[in-house]
Structure 1
């Protein structure tokens, strides 16, 4: 049984491809987050590779999620911080 299995060809589903996550912090407006999401989507469209996740600012979550609906890009959320500094 093991011998037969070793003769099988590997498929893309058998290979661990990794994960790329982009955390945008608070460095985008809603409009620029949508533009960035579209740019990422265009760049990886039709390509095989690691799973891609973007984590836009909270205020852009819905808009970016809608922009990326149906693509292979997942949307994640970042945690919050009480400081009002730009960025992290």
Structure 2
């Protein structure tokens, strides 16, 4: 269902902004006007804000994983072969319990 378009908007862009708009239009396989309409309708500001919040959460998780990996590495580097085998058995038990 087509709606009547009453308003005309003229926008002037610098070369970089124009290239970005053209790139997005090509990726969406739409003309530049349709691309701008879609960006307006989707409320891109809200999407970007949500994306940034998710990104912050992912960075916190990444830091936590990196810290844990670092601690494991230190423990393994300072452990004897017997301690390593015990850790390996404990990890196997943990893995088996997670797979049940």
TM-score interval, smaller chain: under 0.3
Larger % of strand: which? 1
**Could you tell me the TM-score, scaled by structure 1's length?**
0.26
**Could you tell me the TM-score, scaled by structure 2's length?**
0.23
Higher RCO (Cα < 8 Å, 6 or more apart): 1
- Max radius of gyration: which structure? 2
Larger % of helix: which? 2
